[in-house]
A = this chain, B = another copy of it.
Amino acid sequence: MAELKFDRWRLPFEEALHAHNLASLQPSGLYEPIDYFMNLGGKRLRPVVCLAAAEQCGAPLNQAMGAALAIEWFHNFSLVHDDIMDKAPLRRGQPTLHERNGLAAGVLCGDRMLVQAYMFLSKSPESALPNLLNRFNQTAAEVCDGQQMDMDFEQRSRVSPKEYIEMIRLKTAVLLGFALEAGALCAGWSTQQAEPLYRFGEQLGIAFQIKDDWLDAFGDAKQTGKQAGGDVLARKKTWLWIQAQQQAGERLAEFDALADAERVKRSLDLFRELDLPARSMELALHHKKNALDSLAGLPQGTGKTQFFQEFASYLLGREH
């Protein structure tokens, strides 16, 4: 299984994550909820590719452990605060931090987690630190921009597909790009040398999000573990919905007043009628191809690109 292959990086990362937890710190009102949230699990995709990228770029994986921890802590900080903004009660089937410990804890724990991310980042090789800090700051700011755009879109009657792609690029894809770039920077590469890896992660992140939207609408509920059409049910403005609104807005609007089950069914039927399953898959493939094409820009030729190709297949499925 492809997943097992990534254990080579996932297991040392999980070990470091637990070795550097904050569970014993005081005041416990701050650190206990943080520990709760950090133990909700997750695939640890970003730190895994950060460590793997460092190795592919010629460094021992430990050289990128600080950056990998920083990226995972940053990701979790953003989840804690996003859950407040989205009023989400559950995360990975468990109560969100603010739901469990209150709004004030949600705000403050998130802040402390962001600071902790910078603490881990500062453990990186000193020669790489200025570049890492600049790129991490830039990425963090873009993630905030993406979250704001996402919230803005909820209030707007019309959003273009292009705007949607830019939103998911900022909100989720740039962090995957930075994860790969950071591994290379920790291995002593320049930002210019690392740029193809950043682009690879960014484009793969966009492809992944589009595929994720596709799966939500058309995937096998047994495989995804989610209710088919959950995004439509929650009236989320995914690429599918935005595209349908652009092409057949009046018909889509008619479904608005229907009962939930009927509204989901009719919307998904409309998506199919507009050929959106195939077209969204094409769009995902386009960004996957961008990702793979960017690998040609790597300084050390094609010998080292196998891992990245395998990672792309793992993330998006081999069939695509």
Binding site for B on A (CB under 8 A): 26-27, 29-30, 81, 84-85, 103-104, 107-108, 110-112, 114-116, 118-119, 122, 126, 129-130, 133-134, 137, 140-141, 144-145, 147-149, 151-152
Contacts and interface: CB of A to CB of B under 8 A. Distances in A.
Nearest to A146: B27
A108 B147 CA distance: 8
16 contacts: A27-B145, A27-B148, A29-B148, A30-B144, A81-B111, A84-B104, A84-B107, A85-B107, A85-B108, A104-B151, A107-B107, A108-B148, A114-B114, A114-B115, A118-B137, A129-B130
State the majority secondary structure of interface residues on A: helix
Given A29-B148, A112-B144, 19 more contacts: A27-B149, A30-B144, A81-B108, A84-B103, A84-B107, A85-B104, A85-B107, A103-B103, A107-B107, A108-B147, A110-B111, A114-B114, A116-B141, A118-B140, A122-B137, A126-B130, A129-B130, A129-B133, A133-B133
A141 B111 CA distance: 9
Contact of A30 (B103, B116, B119, B148): B148
Nearest to A149: B27
Contacts of A141: 112, 115-116, 119
A119 B110 CA distance: 19
A106 B89 CA distance: 19
Output the residue of A26, A107, A108, A140 with the most chain B CB within 10 A.
A107
